[in-house]
């Protein structure tokens, strides 16, 4: 993963320090995940993109390069360890989204995560919840619950900056 930091606010600096040594790999050889920390209209954002991505269904280069995966408005900093735990859960949510695209019947995706309404589709929760539009303590619980029971996710968020390194 490449970390690109263009914003310079106290919140962006905390996130940049927490994610500086994080490694995120994509399942497609050659795909290049990028996490951008930036400011837009006075708000801080974390944007996830994948350069040189392949279309999940065809294996051909994706039409969008880089592929914008998500843009999350950052409202607070949960602590360094929890920030990294969130990125792991969020990446797992993206992988779940891509895995759903691979299961077809009669050339149709069985549980299409792009079905409308896209943001509300229940089976798109890996991507939707993992990388929410806005990161708050409550959306962080939902993001972590993509990969763990909600009560564990809630306990992690309640620990916040006191959460030790996990794993």
Q: Is residue 8 part of a domain?
A: yes
Q: Is residue 150 part of a domain?
A: yes
pLDDT number for residue 42: 96
How does pLDDT run across 71-84, given as a tens digit for each residue?
A: 999 999 999 999 99
In what side-by-side order are the strands of the sheet with 2-5? 2-5, 32-40, 43-51, 67-74, 134-135
End-to-end CA distance of the chain: 19
pLDDT at 138: 97
Domain count, the chain: 1
State the Cα torsion 165-86-32-127 to the nearest 10°: 150
The pLDDT of residue 133: 95
Q: For residues 8 and 167, which has the higher predicted lDDT (pLDDT)?
A: 8
The verdict on residue 141 lying in a domain is yes
Q: What is the overall mean pLDDT for the chain?
A: 91
Tell me whether residue 155 is in a domain: yes
Is 143 contained in some domain?
Answer: yes
In tens, the pLDDT along 12-66 reads 999 999 999 999 988 877 888 999 999 999 999 999 999 988 887 788 888 888 9
CA distance 126 to 145: 9
126 pLDDT band (50/70/90 cuts)? Answer: confident
Q: Does some domain include residue 167?
A: no
User: Which residue in 79, 77, 76 sits closest to 162, CA to CA?
Assistant: 79
Q: Say what the pLDDT of residue 35 is.
A: 95
Nearest-angstrom CA–CA distance, 72 and 43: 10
Report how far Cα 44 is from the mean position of its chain's Cα atoms: 16
Question: Do the beta carbons of residue 33 and residue 25 sit within 8 Å?
Answer: yes
3-state SS class at 148: coil
Percentage, residues of the chain above pLDDT 70: 99
Burial of 136 (0-12, 13-18, 19+ CB in 10 A): middle
Percent residues over pLDDT 90 in the chain: 64
Mean pLDDT of 100-119: 87
* Residue-range definition of the domain harbouring residue 27: 2-162
Domain assignment of residue 40, yes or no:
yes
Q: Is the model more confident about 112 or about 13?
A: 13
CA atoms of 107 and 38, how far apart (whole Å): 39
């Amino acid at each position: 993963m490449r970390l690109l930091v263009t914003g310079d606010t106290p919140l962006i600096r905390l996130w940049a320090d927490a994610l500086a040594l994080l490694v995120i790999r994509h399942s497609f050889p050659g795909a290049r995940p990028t996490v951008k920390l930036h400011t837009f209209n006075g708000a801080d954002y974390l944007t996830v993109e994948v350069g040189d991505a392949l279309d999940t269904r065809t294996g051909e280069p994706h039409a969008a390069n880089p592929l914008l995966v998500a843009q999350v408005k950052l409202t607070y900093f949960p602590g360094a360890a929890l920030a990294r735990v969130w990125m792991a859960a969020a990446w797992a949510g993206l992988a779940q989204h891509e895995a759903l695209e691979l299961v077809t019947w009669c050339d149709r995706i069985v549980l299409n995560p792009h079905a409308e309404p896209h943001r509300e589709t229940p089976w798109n929760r890996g991507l939707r919840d993992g990388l929410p539009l806005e990161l708050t303590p409550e959306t962080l619980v939902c993001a972590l619950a993509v990969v763990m029971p909600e009560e564990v996710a809630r306990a992690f968020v309640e620990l916040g900056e006191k959460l030790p390194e996990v794993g």
